[in-house]
Structure 1
Amino acid sequence: MASQIRDMVNPALERKGMTQEELAEKIGRSQALISRFISGVPIADATARAIAQVLDLDADELIQQVQRDKLERRMKKIKSQYIPVLGEYEIESLISEKKPLDVGHVNVLNEIPLLDFYDQDPNKAERYIVPTGVELDTNKSFALKVKGKGMTDDKIDEGDIIIVDPKAKIKHNDRVLAVRNGQQEIRRYQKAGDTVLLQSNTVPEVPIIILSQNETTKVIGRVVFLHKIF
């Protein structure tokens, strides 16, 4: 954060008896860049290292703080693009400021293989930043690009990206990702007594599936977040 960078750099300038302009001249940069950096604007790691060397600061510590600032800015931008597809209680819990910053990544898949989808080589998949506050199993969760009518509903459109957590607890009326006869579908998970129904408004030929009576359908996991692509 800006205050942490400021608290590291300003005392070091005072100890050195150096102004921002003099520091900028030492590292071959503008005084405006130094001023923006102290106010919280991230800079390149190489520039941060040069500043640390001139001011006798711990270069690794300063660079780590720069990286945290960059990540926090990126997270704020990405999080603003997400639309929750959860219940009101879960939405409130996600936006609670009491939760610590806990950043993770998941793989972005084009489709789900019919076998174990999370056994793909993670180095060959695009990585997707999970918004802070979203609790999921990052080892098993994945992001999926929405393709096909059966993957859409009243909130999810083709081209969007969903995050699916196979380990998340599923409750009545949650959105789930299911595979039926090898086809991926988004359905509502609904319970009627001990019976589980999977409902869809976009698959007219099979609008309701009784899960216990349909061995060709498998629930992959709960849709925990939706990224709208406009």
Structure 2
Amino acid sequence: MPHFNSDGVELAYFDEGQGDPVLLIHGFASSKDVNWVGPSWTRTLIEAGYRVIAFDHRGHGESGKVHEPERFHTTEMAADAVRLLDHVGVERADVIGYSMGARVGAFMALLYPARVRSLVLGGLGIHLVDGVGLPQTIADAMDAPSLEDVTDPMGRMFRTFADNNRQDLKSLAACIRGSRQELSREEVARIYQPVLVAVGTRDKVAGDAHALAALLPDGEALDIPNRDHNPAVGDKVFKQGVLDFLLRRP
């Protein structure tokens, strides 16, 4: 798996297919393989004629481990994504993020607008502005000696997910504590690219998709029927909605 240096952190990535470039940004405690390869996103996009670029966040997957919360600030994680585009020679890409990756994508679209052709915010609705992501209790769950010591339901869910994916728990705890930034309504109103906000109808983590889409100059909402936060990732309605969106965007 190739790596590149992003301000001192070695990040793992892949770059496959041909056509218009699409950058995939995975969620917390996940990885490029778990979030995008396993649920067939990579295959779906390549077969639809796109070039697919994805990476493991700092502290995640096969990327370098980072244990200082301040190094997980969302602006720094957005800069990682831009540095990857620089590394692979892509000037502008359609960006698809999920959950924490969607938050990173939103910051990327605001701070580096020329690099983002369109944006998909999967698993993230109005909590982009009314909430700072996953609760602090998840960091406590990562710090716990074992899963049996975790009583918080959401903490148990993410600790189980992290353990199953063999993630670095210290990095994940630092990530939760360091990436708790939100955008204001005024900042969201400055994201001028076409944006699709896609959230499962049973998702208790993301917040309402329609409320966020209404704040965006060129936003639209997609309901992923009967899906909670994690299962929505690979849903066929989500995939088809994204493919349709990519065909419609300028």
Same fold (TM over 0.5): no
Q: RCO higher in 1 or 2 (8 Å CA, sep ≥ 6)?
A: 2
What's the TM-score bracket when you normalise by the shorter of the two chains?
A: under 0.3
When the two structures are superposed, what TM-score results if normalisation uses the length of structure 1? 0.24
Structure showing greater Rg? 1
Larger strand percent:
1
